[in-house]
Amino acid sequence: MNADVVPTQEPTEATRYWLGVALDVPLAGLFDYYALIPVNAGTRVIVSFGRRQMVGMVAQVKAAPDIAPGSVKAIEAVLDDIPPMSDDWMRLVSFAARYYQRPLGEVMLPALPVALRKVASYTGKGARGGPVARADKSKRKAAAVCAGDAPPLQLNPEQTQAVQAVTAAQGHQTFLLHGVTGSGKTEVYMHAAKQVLAQGRQVLFMVPEINLTPQFEQSLRARLGQVDNPDLLAVLHSGLADGERLRAWLRIARGQARVLLGTRLSIMTPMPDLGLIIVDEEHDTSYKQQDGLRYSARDLAVWRGHDLQVPVVLGSATPSLETWHNAQRGHYQLLSLTQRARAVQLPQVRLVDTRRLALEHGFSPQLLDAIKARLAQNEQVLIFLNRRGYAPVVSCNSCGWVSQCPRCTAYTILHRTQGGRTHNHLQCHHCGYHAAVPRRCPDCGDQDLRPMGRGTQRLEEHLAEWFPQARISRIDADSTRLKGSAEALFAQVHAGEVDILVGTQMVAKGHDFAKLGLVGVLNADAMLFAQDFRAPERLFAQLMQVAGRAGRHAGAGEVIIQTDYPEQPVYQALLKHDYQGFARYSLEERKAVGLPPFAYQALLTAEARALKTAVAFLSEAATLPDTAPELYPTSEAVTRYDPVPLRVVRVANTERAQLLVESDSRPALQTFLATWSADVAALATRHRVRCHLEVDPLEI
Ligand code: ADP
Ligand code: ZN
Ligand code: ZN
């Protein structure tokens, strides 16, 4: 053990301090230990648990243990290389654990940088005084120098009003800053942030993704007018190495850095002087964590702002319907930016009805003509297709065999591997299964196997044939697998070295392409019908965002959407850039059928070898409240639906089903879940089924 660790001695008749310790184990409740010196709540300790040593966090200092005092073990060490976690941080993680129905330890400890919650980082030869001492010794890279402070902009009246509203807020208020792409929302964030910084407080600025937009950090520094202050900003996202992440976390937690720019995980960072929270693109689904603690960073931001009595700004061109609804009923204050900040028109949207058109490899003549015209003008073109790979399936022309994943109920996707010579392979997007493309049909032996449908790779290939002069680039999860390759590809587009960009949703976010004149959208209908009740909302947001890439600086941009269903409300609203109309229509529809935001949901998902095991478990889970109604005072107000198999039932040889519970009262649902989650966990152990409960699920 090293200097930062205070060893405890064997108990004699000295006073014992009883501690409730949270551990990162899938068991509810705290674990009793004692110390011989007083230890504050929020302090990390090393304890032995079973046969292991673990880092735990003191969550409670107690007058007496819950179990027989004689069987309580002593903690093994107190970790005091950082001060105890603050009360407000403890409140935040406790709330998250309660609301999302997870054991406290499974929320508290994962919220810390890895090194602070591993016994190994404090023991052994490499410890060198512990992770904090090591981080403090290591030299930080100087922040890259950039061009200089941005010249101050004259805000327009709507922007001024928005900044004033935010900075004048007394205590907590959640604002919805609504404005199309390019309406100057970022400018509003920056002006409000500057004022908050000037008051000596910290700002938490959350964005959906960071890895793709490193230039954003630079522009943030420039806009905050503190280019040469390397201490100003800390950046946190999951792409950082553990050491970098710890250093950034420490700078924020110690109050050295004043602005935290980060993805969803940054919501759990301790910030001693937090004075403003900004959530950009608040509708973005990447604010929702999809495993472990399935939290919404956006929702936690609102909670944290309320808890700390500081303003929260949610910004979006296409707010989530939950947020819009809250603004409509006055829970949030709506701030609207109705104009684009610069005198640039919104792109013109055109719907191409593909029902009676002969398409050439998925392209309508209208779209091909438009591409030609834009290229002739030296403008850039973006072709958007939300499907990577070469073709979604390989099929036998004589017997109809299709390539399927042996481990999932899903097709395998054909991918073209660009190497010394081109060869193909099949890949499952659910489990990662890889296989060679068979030479002949496994069923009938025919050699006539053909790719069916199109992915981004195939589009790229056809475009290269049609437009041999054009420089074509593709941005999707495949082309950007290597670290840094996304940045490099985006840089090429920005530098004007690309004429046609083919991409998935990766291209929709955040980027502002100066020379982009045309956006073509293929196969949007698949997004509309393949998913759950939120599919139109998501499609609208995504297409508005892609559309926003066009003509941000140059003349009139154009967006062409190919569809078989031009009369669908989502497309009609896109034609008019009419978010409000779309939101009104969608909310009425949701209200009529009692869907969120007019109902609150939780989803229990079960995984087993066989579907019937999962379904049997869920059926029993659904009836648990009836066996002990006195423990479920609100069960009358909670609807339990029938278990259903997931759309993709089997993934990696596990079969999955889910059970939806719903209530029009959030407190009623919360009361129900508090009992139910514990009962369900016990039941799952008996059934030997893996399950997880998700509160406010985004996908059903
Ligand atoms: P958003 O975040 O809503 O997409 P930005 O804040 O990035 O919009 O603004 C879009 C563009 O307009 C940026 O280039 C920005 O510098 C510029 N801009 C914003 N506000 C103003 C203003 N008041 N006057 C002139 N240009 C502005
Ligand atoms: Zn065949
Ligand atoms: Zn698979």
pTM score of the predicted model: 0.92
For the CA of 431, the nearest ligand: 3
Measured in Å, residue 387 CA sits from the centre of ligand 2 at 26
Give the pLDDT score at 3: 44
Q: For 217-221, 421-425, 689-693, which range has the lowest pLDDT when averaged over its residues?
A: 421-425
State whether the beta carbon of 183 lies less than 6 angstroms from ligand 1: yes
Q: Which residues contact 699 (CB under 8 A, 6 or more apart)?
A: 531, 532, 534
**Which of the pair, 658 or 129, is modelled with greater confidence?**
658
Q: What is the pLDDT of residues 84-126, one digit of tens each?
A: 999 999 999 999 999 999 999 999 999 999 999 999 999 877 7
State whether the beta carbon of 315 lies less than 6 angstroms from ligand 1: no
Q: What is the pLDDT of residues 365-424, one digit of tens each?
A: 999 999 999 999 999 999 999 999 999 999 999 999 999 999 999 999 999 876 545 578
Q: Is the pLDDT of residue 349 over 60?
A: yes
DSSP classification of residue 153: P
Cα–Cα dist 27/671, whole Å: 20
Q: What is the pLDDT of residues 474-526, one digit of tens each?
A: 999 888 888 778 888 988 998 999 999 999 988 887 677 888 999 999 999 98
For the CA of 653, the nearest ligand: 3
Mean pLDDT of 431-450: 93
Distances (CA, A) of 5 to 2, 47, 633, 667: 6, 12, 47, 43
Give the pLDDT score at 227: 58
Asked if 311 and 125 touch (Cβ cutoff 8 Å), the reply is: no
Give the pLDDT score at 485: 85
Q: What is the pLDDT of residues 311-322, one digit of tens each?
A: 999 999 999 999
Give the pLDDT score at 343: 62
Cα–Cα dist 30/26, whole Å: 11
Which amino acid residue places its CA nearest to atom 19 of ligand 1? Answer: 184
Which two tokens mark 289?
A: 């964590």
State whether the beta carbon of 336 lies less than 6 angstroms from ligand 1: no
Q: What is the pLDDT of residues 530-569, one digit of tens each?
A: 668 999 999 999 999 888 877 655 567 899 999 999 999 9
Confidence band, pLDDT 50/70/90 cuts, at residue 2 = very low
Asked if 202 and 252 touch (Cβ cutoff 8 Å), the reply is: yes
State whether the beta carbon of 186 lies less than 6 angstroms from ligand 1: yes
From the CA of 155, give the closest atom in ligand 1: 23
Q: What is the pLDDT of residues 628-680, one digit of tens each?
A: 999 999 999 999 999 999 989 999 999 999 999 999 999 999 999 999 999 99
State whether the beta carbon of 548 lies less than 6 angstroms from ligand 1: no
Cα–Cα dist 461/614, whole Å: 43
Q: What is the pLDDT of residues 564-600, one digit of tens each?
A: 999 999 999 999 999 999 999 999 999 999 999 999 9
Mean pLDDT of 150-173: 92
Give the pLDDT score at 223: 80
Q: How far is CA 17 from the centre of its chain?
A: 41
In 10 A of CB 377, how many CB atoms?
12
Q: Is the pLDDT of residue 212 over 60?
A: no
Measured in Å, residue 406 CA sits from the centre of ligand 3 at 7
Which amino acid residue places its CA nearest to atom 14 of ligand 1? Answer: 182
Cα–Cα dist 613/619, whole Å: 10
State whether the beta carbon of 222 lies less than 6 angstroms from ligand 1: no
Give the pLDDT score at 559: 94
Asked if 354 and 564 touch (Cβ cutoff 8 Å), the reply is: yes
Confidence band, pLDDT 50/70/90 cuts, at residue 270 = very high
Measured in Å, residue 616 CA sits from the centre of ligand 1 at 55
Mean pLDDT of 43-67: 96
State whether the beta carbon of 156 lies less than 6 angstroms from ligand 1: yes
Q: Is the pLDDT of residue 148 over 80?
A: no
Judged on CB neighbours under 10 Å (0-12, 13-18, 19+), 178 is buried
Q: Which one of 187, 512, 579 would you pick to mutate in the ligand 1 pocket, going by the greatest count of ligand atoms within 8 A of its CB? A: 187
**Which of the pair, 152 or 364, is modelled with greater confidence?**
364
- Residue-by-residue DSSP string for 340-404: -SSS-PPPEEEEEE-TT---BTTB-HHHHHHHHHHHHTT-EEEEE-S--SSBSEEEETTT--B-B
Torsion of the alpha carbons at 258, 264, 268 and 271, rounded to the nearest 10:
10
Measured in Å, residue 209 CA sits from the centre of ligand 2 at 44
Cα–Cα dist 352/518, whole Å: 14
Q: How far is CA 219 from the centre of its chain?
A: 23
From the CA of 188, give the closest atom in ligand 1: 6
Give the pLDDT score at 239: 86
State whether the beta carbon of 112 lies less than 6 angstroms from ligand 1: no
Closest CA relative to residue 245, chosen from 138, 144, 146, 145: 138
Q: Is the pLDDT of residue 344 over 70?
A: no
For the CA of 163, the nearest ligand: 1
Give the pLDDT score at 1: 43
Q: Is the pLDDT of residue 180 over 90?
A: no
Q: What is the largest CA-CA distance in the chain?
A: 89
Give the pLDDT score at 417: 79
Mean pLDDT of 6-12: 53
For the CA of 184, the nearest ligand: 1
For the CA of 509, the nearest ligand: 1
